């Protein structure tokens, strides 16, 4: 990684790769369209790794990039985490690659170790999309391998725009993304960094409690424009969670420009803004100046 941390104005900890070098997409067209309608945002719903690098380099923002491997649950081929790691290495001045593994896969702990050896700097899970209860102990060997590697995890929590507005939400179950299911994981793996992605509506108070209670639990602020943040989350960010909340946009459905423009209007203390935008991510990602 060749990030100039002094030159970066921010670090976006939540950026999705939605298209690979062969033109394949991470989701089928119905789910992509439903997500785009839900967020009503960026026209380019399927940026490649190169597209993302150009977008963030222009803005002097570092980006943590990943896909979600939900191939078993969705019956749709996942994008290759190996390819994302390889392509991100060509843009290591602005990109930091996370990997994703299918929790229902065979010998997943070994795959975790192989991805870390290839350059994965963390792992992304989406319990609702991947259709698993993250506190089920059958998945604990996966977390054990990640903890042993010393890299962080990001778990989607709360509402999801994927499947929103479709009959039955296309079978995607929100209950899997209740952050309290991750309280067991954070307690049982105290060396594992757990980032709760997004304001966890309708379970925001639970997420705040977890991040306050457990030193290894953080919250990223992606997926919502800051003007819509629950009041309790804003209060916590200004106080007990000032070192626990991270800038994340959820690009491409929300661009960093839109998120940062809304954040500029949020009632956050001036001394806390740089912590949210960059310093807290430096700590969580294990970076150094």
Q: Following CA atoms 207, 210, 213, 214 in sequence, which dihedral angle do they give, to the nearest 10 degrees?
A: -130
What does each C-alpha distance from 203 to 162, 195, 196, 210, 254 come to in angstroms? 18, 15, 11, 11, 22
How far apart (Å, rounded) are the C-alpha atoms in residues 68 and 100?
5
Q: 80-84 contacts: CB < 8 A, separation 24 or more?
A: 80/20, 81/115, 81/120, 82/115, 82/118, 83/20, 83/21, 84/17, 84/49
Residue 90 structure tokens: 């060509």
pLDDT digits (tens, 9 = 90+) for 103-119: 999 889 999 999 999 99
Give me the pLDDT at residue 261, please.
98
* Residue 9 scores a pLDDT above 60: yes
The CATH H-level (homologous superfamily) assignment of domain 10-284 is Metal-dependent hydrolases (3.20.20.140)
Cβ proximity of 119 and 149 under 8 Å: no
Out of 21-35, 82-96, 221-235, which region has the weakest mean confidence (pLDDT)? Answer: 21-35
How high does pLDDT run on average in the chain? 94
pLDDT band at 190 (very low <50, low <70, confident <90, very high): very high
Domains of the chain by residue range: 10-284
| Crossing angle (nearest 10°) for helices 256-263 and 49-59 | 40
Give me the pLDDT at residue 43, please.
60
């Amino acid at each position: 990684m060749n990030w100039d941390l002094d030159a970066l104005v921010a670090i976006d900890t939540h950026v999705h790769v939605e298209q690979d070098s062969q033109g394949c997409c991470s989701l089928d067209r119905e789910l992509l369209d439903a997500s785009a309608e839900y967020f009503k945002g960026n026209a380019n719903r399927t940026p490649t790794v190169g597209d993302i690098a150009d977008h963030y380099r222009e803005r002097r923002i570092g980006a943590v990039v990943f896909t979600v491997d939900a191939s078993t649950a969705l019956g749709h081929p996942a994008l290759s985490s190996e390819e994302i790691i390889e392509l991100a290495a060509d843009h290591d001045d602005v990109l930091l690659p996370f990997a994703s593994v299918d929790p229902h896969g065979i010998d997943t702990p070994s795959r975790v170790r192989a991805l870390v050896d290839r350059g994965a700097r963390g792992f992304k899970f989406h319990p609702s999309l991947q259709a698993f209860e993250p506190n089920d102990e059958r998945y604990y060997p996966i977390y054990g391998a990640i903890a042993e590697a010393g890299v962080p995890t990001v778990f989607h929590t709360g509402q999801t725009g994927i499947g929103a507005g479709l009959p039955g939400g296309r079978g995607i179950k929100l209950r899997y993304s209740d952050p309290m299911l991750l309280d067991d994981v954070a307690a049982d793996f105290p060396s594992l960094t757990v980032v709760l992605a997004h304001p966890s509506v309708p379970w925001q108070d639970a997420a705040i409690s977890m991040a306050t209670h457990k030193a290894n639990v953080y919250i990223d602020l992606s997926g919502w424009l800051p003007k819509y943040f629950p009041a309790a989350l804003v209060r916590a960010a200004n106080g007990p969670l000032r070192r626990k909340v991270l800038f994340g946009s959820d690009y491409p459905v929300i661009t960093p420009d839109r998120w940062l423009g809304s954040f500029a209007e949020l009632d956050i203390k001036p001394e806390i803004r740089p912590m949210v935008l960059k310093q807290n991510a430096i700590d969580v990602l294990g970076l150094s100046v």
